[in-house]
Amino acid sequence: MSKKEKEIRKLMKDARSAVEIADLKKAGKKLHQAIEIAKKTGNKVVLDQISEFIQEFTYSNNTQSIELNLIETDGFILDIGGGGEGVIGKLNGRQVVAIDKNERELEETRNEALKVVMDATDLKFLPESFDVCTSFFCLIYVPKNRHLKVFNEARRVLKNNGRFLLWDVRIPERFGDYKAFMVRLKVKLPNGEIETGYGVKWQTQDIDYFKEIARKAKFNIMSEWSKGEIFHLEMTKKT
């Protein structure tokens, strides 16, 4: 067995262990890393084995692509769930305050954002502290019964006419015996490209669901788009 194959086996073993303790975010990352290594080595047999492994417990859609540009603002950006890949921090650097409940996720992040351990449903910032708030594929990890609280907290800490930018994925009604849902992403940034995957417990959602949450939290929807299975909302705080 080659060194790369051993690395893949180790990643798959780690992913299975993560599934057993319901750490699906970690499982998704490990499986995505295994897939990327197998692709680079051109090992179709191993790719098929990874695919079979994934199908044991999770539904995975096709890789979704998204292109992001610098967020235009002169003020600070609060990035909810900004650990892990830290995409928003990679975009806007020191303008970003990245929060995450998981300290380990923040420790793994490599960008210039200020990183703070904090719960998005109980923000410790004063009212009207930020010009922009972002959620980049974060709310899939938050139980649906807490989504409105996150929106309300985001609204509280945003300045008047501040923007709330949301990127997320459509999760269909659960079917079969799948325990989880996985989305694989290819993110194109001005200075590079990121490929990653997010594994989550199954909870249905779509753009209309989040538009209704926005309405309840008194946000105005300024623009929206859907592409494949992913979508984006730009909202502003009603005054």
d(Cα 215, Cα 106) in Å, to the nearest integer? 31
Domains of the chain: 3-56 (no CATH), 65-171+179-237 (3.40.50.150)
Question: 52 is written with which tokens?
Answer: 């079979």
What's the pLDDT at 22? 67
Asked if 2 contacts 177 with a C-beta cutoff of 8 angstroms, the reply is: no
Pairing of strands 219-227, 192-201: unpaired
- 239 residues of the chain, pLDDT tens digit each: 688 888 888 888 888 887 777 677 777 778 778 888 888 887 788 788 877 777 777 787 788 999 999 999 999 999 999 998 999 999 999 999 999 998 988 998 999 999 999 999 999 999 999 999 999 999 999 999 999 999 999 999 999 999 999 999 999 998 877 778 888 899 999 989 998 888 888 899 999 999 999 999 999 999 999 999 999 999 999 87
What's the pLDDT at 82? 95
d(Cα 18, Cα 25) in Å, to the nearest integer? 8
Question: 208 is written with which tokens?
Answer: 């209309």
d(Cα 207, Cα 226) in Å, to the nearest integer? 8
Question: 125 is written with which tokens?
Answer: 């910032």
Give the number of C-alpha atoms closer than 13 A to the C-alpha of residue 81, restricted to the C-beta side: 18
pTM value is 0.83
